[in-house]
Amino acid sequence: MGLVPGLTVFGVSGIGEVRPGENLAALILEAGVELEEGDILSVTSKIVSKAEGRIRAAADREQAITDETVRVVASREHPGGVTRIVENRQGLVMAAAGVDASNTDEGTVLLLPEDPDASALALCEALRRATGVRLGVVITDTAGRPWRQGQTDIAIGAAGVTVLEDLRGTTDAAGRSLTVTAAAIADEVAAASDLVKGKTSGMPVAVVRGLGRYVAGLDAPGARALQRLGEADMFSLGTAEARAAGYEEGFAAGRAASQAGSLHE
């Protein structure tokens, strides 16, 4: 029986509270992790945001959500207030524009990194330069998904990683042609590493080892290539919002037809 290549995921302990202006590459290396060729580092976006000073007063949370919003997809009232699902300035569709009040100082909230792919690239370059090791970096955040309960981590930034493995044109084990299959490698790395990092363990960085075949050059597309927006987005509105828009369009069309008919009487 042949051996199947293994996959190892382990957390990096010893990274304390990150403050604005701190060097993330130095903090990771000072934690004592021994990085190997082909490793992929999964880094929670919260520590990237903290290092980049993306911190706001909690009193401004709703305004921060509004400021980070490009387009409202859906909003739902609940006993605690209103949840807004929006497309944010990074092109991500998520609750509250990714503005987060957890794992940050009392009275503050965190915004997502301004440009997660650029943040991943800077970190990847610094780690490759310091270690001489060819590795990749994925920056992760937690998101819900349509039709599925619960949340999982996804890649919002990436560098030195093949984020999408396009299998179209290849064949499956039975020899049938694959026409739509494309594996979201960076998202799968993010989800796997979250099982180690968790939400309350204080472990913001994990190493995914065994996926060296997906470590790529620094010019590889970042995580933004995984976003489906514009005409490619088949669910650009929530159910209630789509119904309201359809009603408005139908009402306007009916009124226009009625006015046109009266002109010909």
The per-residue pLDDT for range 105-152, each reduced to its tens digit, is 888 899 999 999 999 999 999 999 999 999 999 999 999 988 899 999
Does 50 lie in the same domain as 68?
Answer: no
140 and 15 share one domain: yes
Helices (H), 58-104: 61-68
Instruction: Report how far Cα 44 is from the mean position of its chain's Cα atoms.
Output: 10
Instruction: Provide the pLDDT for residue 265.
Output: 58
Counting the structural domains of the chain, the total is: 3
Contacts of 221 (CB under 8 A, 6+ apart): 163, 164
Residue 2: inside a domain: no
Assigned token pair, 69: 């919003």
44 and 93 share one domain: no
Same domain, yes or no, for 29 and 117? yes
228 and 241 housed in the same domain: no
pTM, two decimals, is: 0.88
The residue segments making up the domain with residue 242 are 237-265
**Same domain membership, residue 262 and residue 138:** no
The answer to the question of residue 1 being in a domain is no
Examine the domain organization and report whether 173 and 82 are in the same domain: no
Q: Are 109 and 61 in contact (CB under 8 A)?
A: yes
Is 146 found in the same domain as 62?
A: no
Chain centroid offset of residue 56 CA: 20
Per the structure block, which two tokens stand in for 7?
Answer: 């996959």
With CA atoms as reference, report the closest residue to 95 among 46, 145, 58: 145
- Which structure tokens are listed for 50? 């903290």
* 54, 100, 110 from 50: Cα distances, Å: 6, 12, 7
Q: What is d(CA 222, CA 159) in angstroms, rounded to the nearest whole number?
A: 6
pLDDT at 125: 98
Cα–Cα distance for residue pair 143/155, rounded to 1 Å: 10
Mind listing the pLDDT tens digit for each residue in 141-199? 999 988 899 999 999 999 999 999 977 677 777 777 767 678 899 999 999 999 999 76
